[in-house]
Structure 1
Amino acid sequence: MADNQNILQYESKIWATADLLRGCGIKESEWPSFMMPFFALAMIESRLIRMLDDMKTVYGKETLSDMDKADYIDLIKDKGQGYNVYIFERHKTLKDICANDKSFDIDFDAYLHGFDGETKDLLGVDATEGEKFLDIKGVITKLKAKKVLLGYTKEWSEIDLKPFNNSEITTLEEHIKRKWADISAETAGEQYTPDDVIGLIAEIIASKIQESDKLLKLYDCTCGGGNMLFGVEDRISQKVKRMTQTFGQDWNDALYALAKIESRFRVDSKIEHGNTLTDDKFYNDEFDVVVANPPYGVSWKGYQKDILNDKTGRFKFIPSISDGQLLFMQHLIAKLDATGMGVVVHNGSTLFSGDAGSAESNIRKWMLDTDIVEAIIQLPTDEFFNTGIYTYLWVLNKNKDAARKHKVMLINANEKFKPLKKSKGSKRKEVDEQSRLEIVDTLTRFVDNDYARVFDKEYFYFNKQAIMLTNVDDNGRSFESQLDGDKKSQKLKPVKLDNGERTLTDFDITTFDAAQFASLADYFENDIKPFVAALDYKEQPLVVTTAKAYYHFDNDKETLIKTENGQTEELGCGKIVVKASLKNANRSQPERIEITIELTPDYQKDYEIIPFHKDAAGNQQAIEAFMAQYVSKPFAYLENVVGVEINFNKVFYKPESLRPVTAILADIAKLDEQIKALEAGLTL
């Protein structure tokens, strides 16, 4: 049997089929949609032909003509891996069909319709509206219009994958899909995970799996073309003696079809099509291992109603509609069995987006409260094909060792990579095998080193303590001291309101200028309401006059001033609150505008972020100590919300070393000399 090195030689040959697409003006970003169905054809045909050859070997026949055709056809159909009339009954391949250009169109159509029903659906042989999957029908129509269908099909018919086994073909498929990811935003990033990251994920999982006769069930809720799901399965099988079963679901038609085709040639694999968040095809199943690389920053607005009305209990909190990553995370946790574990790829937003009390923070808190997070690994930048941002592996474990209970390890693997000799899109680095083994060893040891630290989970919690501040004047007084009992304000009976630009002496208005305003309501909306809304007792010389005194605010002293009989009195820091309202007519009074004025204390709601202590009494003491040290104004406690944020920069920050002052001064002196030389040159 051929090896991986040999099969990878086909990568360039497969990619060369795109030369014809380039030649007829098809954009590079569209190539994957033309190549996917034909690559699927090549994979399916090679495997069906090998199935036929295996049957000859089993029965010791050079041909199958000595066997009862109905018997071996039934045996092949029973395998459920696909069927084609041309291959099994007429013993003709795609290459044979391409040899006769005169009958090619008819033969190719018959060849495609000779597949079993499921294969035809996946290829999109009869695709109309709705689910088209690989949409080979649409691709054929476009290639016919370009008059290159026969030439393009011939290119693919020359690709002989028969000598290679399923694992080797999977390896080739992953490399081809990676190249598609390089050029197509539609198939990039959110569907394709690099081989080195898959390798790291598999190493992490394998390090926690014991050899046994128990079936290991693996699940990927956003499996795309299956590269991560099947890649992890294959690598685990190489390291641990354990029977595996794979489950996957994806919403993308073409990628689902590729994964489904691949799954049929695996021992035990189930791939379903649909939106995992609204239509979980495995709603009754739990799994030993979950893996996923869900899309980053993708809105779920299109199915908001379904999420909000979800009855499964998966979603403890509903995150921002602009990003569904934490919906997928909650779904995956719900799919783990009692001792399950998983590795999930996210960008940085799931670590810190959302303030305390937000759904995002509450989801993180729920995850830490339930002690399911074992570690978070920061990968290097420039690791993925369509983005240079940091990405993170969340290691989930419902069966932590006793020493790891209620603890979380952060691993900063930012420097654990080798640069690629040639960039692949945005991918310029790879986590090489040695780095992968070091990371897994660090996770296994679970002790601090120079790039990893273990924390009690509460380290990531914080108090967001709300307080109501009472603002005071220069003498430390508030208008609150002027109020009796439970009163919240002092109501004035003004006779005049003056803001330096306009004087108001009518505080119960029933008339208006009919020449300027259509009604009293019109006068209220277009004159009185804007005037009152614009009043600012601090920024304007606002003076309120009553029958006995007048009041204003002194900005310099931050206090309300009362002047009566020529004597001034400082009332303490407070506000002058002016309100206007339109009152409907009743039995005793006509329609009118009422203007009221009150003096109130100056209260201000504020928040303080304070480190968290898991002991309730200790936490309250820490809050009080913080307030005593940092808050000087009078205040009252309001609600306290505990948030969770995971900040790698805070944990692994390394300040830049400063240059010696002598070196800086030497540089300045040198620049001075250069400037003087330039000036001397200008004067000559």
Structure 2
Amino acid sequence: MDHASHNKIVSFIWSIADDCLRDVFVRGKYRDVILPMFVLRRIDCLLEDTKDAVLAEVKFQKDEAGMAVLDPDGLRDASGQVFYNTSQFTLKKLLGNPSQLEANFNQYLDAFSPNVAEIIEKFDLRNQIRKMAVADALHGVIEKFVAPTINLSHHDVEGPDGRKLPGLTNLGMGYVFEELIRKFNEENNEEAGEHFTPREVIQLMVHLLIEPVKDQLPPVITIYDPACGSGGMLTEAQDYIKLPDGPIQSTAATYLYGKEVNPETYAICKSDMLIKGNDPENIKFGSTLATDEFSSLRFDFMLSNPPYGKSWKTDQGQILEKKGSKTEIIDPRFEVQLPDASGEIQTVSAAPAVDDGQLLFLMEMVSKMKRLQDAPLGSRIATVHNGSALFTGNAGGGASNIRQYLIENDLLEAIIQLPNNIFYNTGITTYIWVLSNHKPEARRGKVQLIDASQLYEKLRKNLGEKNCAFTPAHIAQITRAYLDLADTGKEAVDGLKAQVFDNRDFGYWKITIERPLRKSAQFTAERIASLRFDKRLAEEMQWIYQQWGEQVYEPGFLSAKEQKDALDDWLEKEEIDRKAADKKKLLDPKFWTAKRELLQAAEQLHQHLGDELSHDFNQFQKDVKAALKALKLKLGAPQFKAILEAVSWRDPEAVPVLANEKKGEADGYEPDSELRDTENVPLNYDGGIDAYFQSEVLPHVEDAWIDESKTVIGYEISFNKYFYVHQPLRDLDEVVQEIRDLEAETEGLLEQILSFSN
């Protein structure tokens, strides 16, 4: 189908909304009618030629075969399609009885095969029919869709003016469909990336996916998209392989599989599969992350544009399970086997932060890769992500674990940076990831990064946020750079940059640097006075004590209504929100008495030990313990700790505090959490962690050490790091001269304006 015919159909269908629905639906709801009616008319056209044969088959099964339930196989054979309709009506025939239009229309819908019936349900078409019927718009809409001036059938027809109206091929149907979706998305200001990926981006993905193995394709090919939307990626991949005038023209049987969570988009995709002769049962409805619909299947090719920056909180219950204080992965798709810093293999989480689930879709595809013992070519994946998939998440976290798993298992072949504003309604930077579990020899142990962000053609008119596009030449250039494993360094060649890295170049050890806690201590009246109040409730206790003094220790005083109301009023005035349990403590004389007893114990210690300042907290603790023994004071560990904290403070000049002191022996120093720091050490650093620590850390902090128990491995990929080229600042004299030139030019203009006004 040529573009002129394609544009004519889009314009005609677009006009139906304005002509018939203007006063019935708000503009943002036009799509709720137009898209399902367009699909229905196309299905209706495909069934028109065999309508008599289907009715004859119905009559045969009922009258001659005496079947109480119709045989769907016979009906499909009669219709020549994988769907059928057993009613006497077509859309054209419905117009013959306007008074019974709504009832006849519903009867017509009831007679469809189950696969079409599900599409009608997901489109919520019956509800739209009711609204149109009430507003007396139903007849007009049907009349427009069956008008002789537009041809939605698959064969050529003659128009009212005698001119040929070319048939709408299945591929043409897909183009019209997606163009309508795009226009409606723009009208509604939706995130078009959620529904529609630009055609040229899909074409590039398909080239990267299939070109490397186009001469080795198996006789049966399966293609999968876990976030299939309207099915554009699936059908584009199929067309690339199968079209008679395409680049491959394979005779392989292709089978498309997908899953979609949005009911309307699912209906669009499933109807597209029906119309194009694919098996619609391979398109499933629901959340890909919540249920593994294709758990028993593996696929040759997988491609997707999953939602990014979108929470997967609603699916958490099917992925994660709380077991005591720990959260465990319960879906094997989202856990991986990885070596820890010591080399021991561990089962770890492959679940990224809950506010962005895009990498979960990638792991879903990885779990569906064919094993090499079953398929020599393995599987290939092309998927689109935003920049966060490259580097977000801490080392040891789900996102980093995913990157580590992909790279260390040598699955990642290449990442291609796309131009900004190439997607509709979003200007963010996006990237195509290419994965394979059967890399060619030249790619093993390597990852290619391609920067194609400056390779585009400007559009004459923006399509939402989309202001640029790839041309076929750009697609060919990027594909060639990928196939050739090009490495241009940081300099662009014909607008494109490419570099090849070893897998380990993206990995690092995250090490935790500790420094010793250093504390000084001294008993003073001011310091121990704070022990009268609980640290967490200090503000409230100080106010209460200022109000009522020693009365707070009297049984029943604080629990009186007057005191309770006064406390509530003060908390409300100060905008302090406290739970009932905290309020109960504040009004409990036993709670106050326990704090007073702690204060009194500290006062006795103060009197025994005096005001001597100590810069050795280790000795100070021993002196306090000895004093407690001499005074025959018994304190629990929490009370002992509270007193020490009240009379001590961090001091960089003090003696380091020993850790784990038992029987006079100590195991190293107590780390200071405020001085704790982390360093990322590249996996390919010469000499490893020890060499890095000796050269990069100890010269600056000589008392530091590494807490090896906290060392974790992380992976990140930074395009800015690898492709950034420093631009030197302009010469200062040059900038000053330019400013002076501008000032002189401004003064001249001002004189001209003033002389003109005079």
TM-score range, shorter chain: 0.7 to 0.9
Q: How far apart, in 1, do the equivalents of 2:272 and 2:105 lie?
A: 23
Q: How far apart, in 2, do the equivalents of 1:361 and 1:213 lie?
A: 34
Q: 1:505 to 1:189 in 2, by over 3 A?
A: closer
2:691 corresponds to which residue?
621
**Is 1:407 the equivalent of 2:412?**
no
2:272 corresponds to which residue?
262
Per-residue CA deviation, residues 610-664 of structure 1 (Å, 9 max, x unaligned), is 3313489534323432223444444444422221111111212233442222222
Q: 1:200 to 1:677 in 2, by over 3 A?
A: closer
Q: How far apart, in 2, do the equivalents of 1:5 and 1:208 lie?
A: 34
**Is 1:114 the equivalent of 2:111?**
yes
Per-residue CA deviation, residues 142-169 of structure 1 (Å, 9 max, x unaligned), is 2223331211222222243112222222
**Is 1:101 the equivalent of 2:147?**
no
**Is 1:169 the equivalent of 2:170?**
no
Q: 1:574 to 1:165 in 2, by over 3 A?
A: farther
Note the 1:327-338 alignment, pairs <5 A.
Answer: 327-338=360-371
Q: How far apart, in 1, do the equivalents of 2:214 and 2:204 lie?
A: 18
Q: Which moved more, 1:602-611 or 1:448-457?
A: 602-611
Q: 1:77 to 1:607 in 2, by over 3 A?
A: farther
What residue ranges of structure 1 are gaps of 5+ in the alignment?
57-63, 125-132, 472-477, 480-488, 534-543, 552-560, 563-569, 580-587
2:725 to 635, 643, 654: 654
1:387 corresponds to which residue?
426
Contact in 1 for aligned 2:222/2:254 (Cα 8 Å): yes
Contact in 1 for aligned 2:513/2:707 (Cα 8 Å): yes
Partner of 1:17: helix, strand, or coil?
A: helix
What's the offset of the Cα at 1:76? 3.2
Note the 1:266-345 alignment, pairs <5 A.
Answer: 266-269=276-279, 270-309=282-321, 311-316=330-335, 317-338=350-371, 339-345=378-384
Q: Which moved more, 1:590-599 or 1:290-299?
A: 590-599
Per-residue CA deviation, residues 305-345 of structure 1 (Å, 9 max, x unaligned), is 11115655110122211111111111110011121011011
Q: How far apart, in 2, do the equivalents of 1:463 and 1:427 lie?
A: 40
What's the offset of the Cα at 1:520? 8.8
What residue ranges of structure 2 are gaps of 5+ in the alignment?
65-72, 154-166, 322-328, 336-349, 372-377, 535-549, 560-584, 600-604, 625-632, 651-655, 658-671
Note the 1:202-601 alignment, pairs <5 A.
Answer: 202-211=206-215, 212-237=217-242, 238-240=246-248, 241=250, 242-269=252-279, 270-309=282-321, 311-316=330-335, 317-338=350-371, 339-449=378-488, 450=492, 451-470=497-516, 494=523, 496-498=524-526, 503=529, 513-514=552-553, 522=588, 547-550=608-611, 561-562=613-614, 596-597=643-644, 599=648, 601=656
Per-residue CA deviation, residues 179-201 of structure 1 (Å, 9 max, x unaligned), is 23323366732121111111111
2:566 corresponds to which residue?
none
Q: How far apart, in 2, do the equivalents of 1:329 and 1:47 lie?
A: 37
Q: 1:573 to 1:117 in 2, by over 3 A?
A: same
Contact in 2 for aligned 1:290/1:332 (Cα 8 Å): yes
What's the offset of the Cα at 1:573? 12
Q: 1:631 to 1:121 in 2, by over 3 A?
A: same
Partner of 1:335: helix, strand, or coil?
A: coil
What's the offset of the Cα at 1:223? 0.8
| 2:611 counterpart letter in structure 1 | Y
| 1:196 counterpart letter in structure 2 | E
CA RMSD between the two structures: 4.1
Contact in 2 for aligned 1:512/1:523 (Cα 8 Å): no
- Which structure has more strand as a fraction of its residues? 1
Q: How far apart, in 1, do the equivalents of 2:76 and 2:458 lie?
A: 50
Partner of 1:394: helix, strand, or coil?
A: strand
Partner of 1:441: helix, strand, or coil?
A: helix
Q: 1:115 to 1:520 in 2, by over 3 A?
A: closer
| 1:239 counterpart letter in structure 2 | P
Identity level (%):
27
Q: How far apart, in 2, do the equivalents of 1:113 and 1:391 lie?
A: 44
Contact in 1 for aligned 2:311/2:355 (Cα 8 Å): yes
Q: Which moved more, 1:171-180 or 1:410-419?
A: 171-180
Partner of 1:245: helix, strand, or coil?
A: strand
Q: 1:629 to 1:39 in 2, by over 3 A?
A: farther
Q: How many residues align?
A: 603
1:541 corresponds to which residue?
none
Contact in 2 for aligned 1:202/1:236 (Cα 8 Å): no
What's the offset of the Cα at 1:97? 2.1
- Which structure has more helix as a fraction of its residues? 2
2:205 to 197, 201, 213: 201
Partner of 2:385: helix, strand, or coil?
A: strand
Q: 1:640 to 1:311 in 2, by over 3 A?
A: closer
Contact in 1 for aligned 2:299/2:370 (Cα 8 Å): yes
Partner of 1:246: helix, strand, or coil?
A: strand
| 2:445 counterpart letter in structure 1 | H
What's the offset of the Cα at 1:434? 1.0
Note the 1:176-187 alignment, pairs <5 A.
Answer: 176-184=180-188
| 1:254 counterpart letter in structure 2 | E
Q: How far apart, in 2, do the equivalents of 1:448 and 1:545 lie?
A: 73
| 2:358 counterpart letter in structure 1 | Q
2:35 corresponds to which residue?
36
Q: How far apart, in 2, do the equivalents of 1:142 and 1:521 lie?
A: 63
Per-residue CA deviation, residues 254-290 of structure 1 (Å, 9 max, x unaligned), is 2212222222344553212222122222110000111
What's the offset of the Cα at 1:395? 0.6
Q: How far apart, in 2, do the equivalents of 1:446 and 1:298 lie?
A: 33
| 1:232 counterpart letter in structure 2 | A
1:663 to 728, 734, 741: 734
What's the offset of the Cα at 1:252? 1.5
1:15 corresponds to which residue?
14
Q: How far apart, in 2, do the equivalents of 1:410 and 1:438 lie?
A: 15
What's the offset of the Cα at 1:37? 1.3
Contact in 2 for aligned 1:365/1:644 (Cα 8 Å): yes
Contact in 2 for aligned 1:32/1:184 (Cα 8 Å): no
What's the offset of the Cα at 1:524? 8.6
Partner of 2:726: helix, strand, or coil?
A: coil
Per-residue CA deviation, residues 13-35 of structure 1 (Å, 9 max, x unaligned), is 11111103552152322222222
What's the offset of the Cα at 1:363? 1.4
Q: 1:633 to 1:75 in 2, by over 3 A?
A: closer
Contact in 1 for aligned 2:106/2:126 (Cα 8 Å): no
Partner of 1:344: helix, strand, or coil?
A: strand
- Give the alignment's TM-score, normalised by structure 2: 0.71
Q: How far apart, in 2, do the equivalents of 1:525 and 1:505 lie?
A: 12
Q: How far apart, in 2, do the equivalents of 1:505 and 1:312 lie?
A: 50
Contact in 2 for aligned 1:4/1:168 (Cα 8 Å): no
Partner of 1:384: helix, strand, or coil?
A: coil
What's the offset of the Cα at 1:105? 3.0
1:83 corresponds to which residue?
84
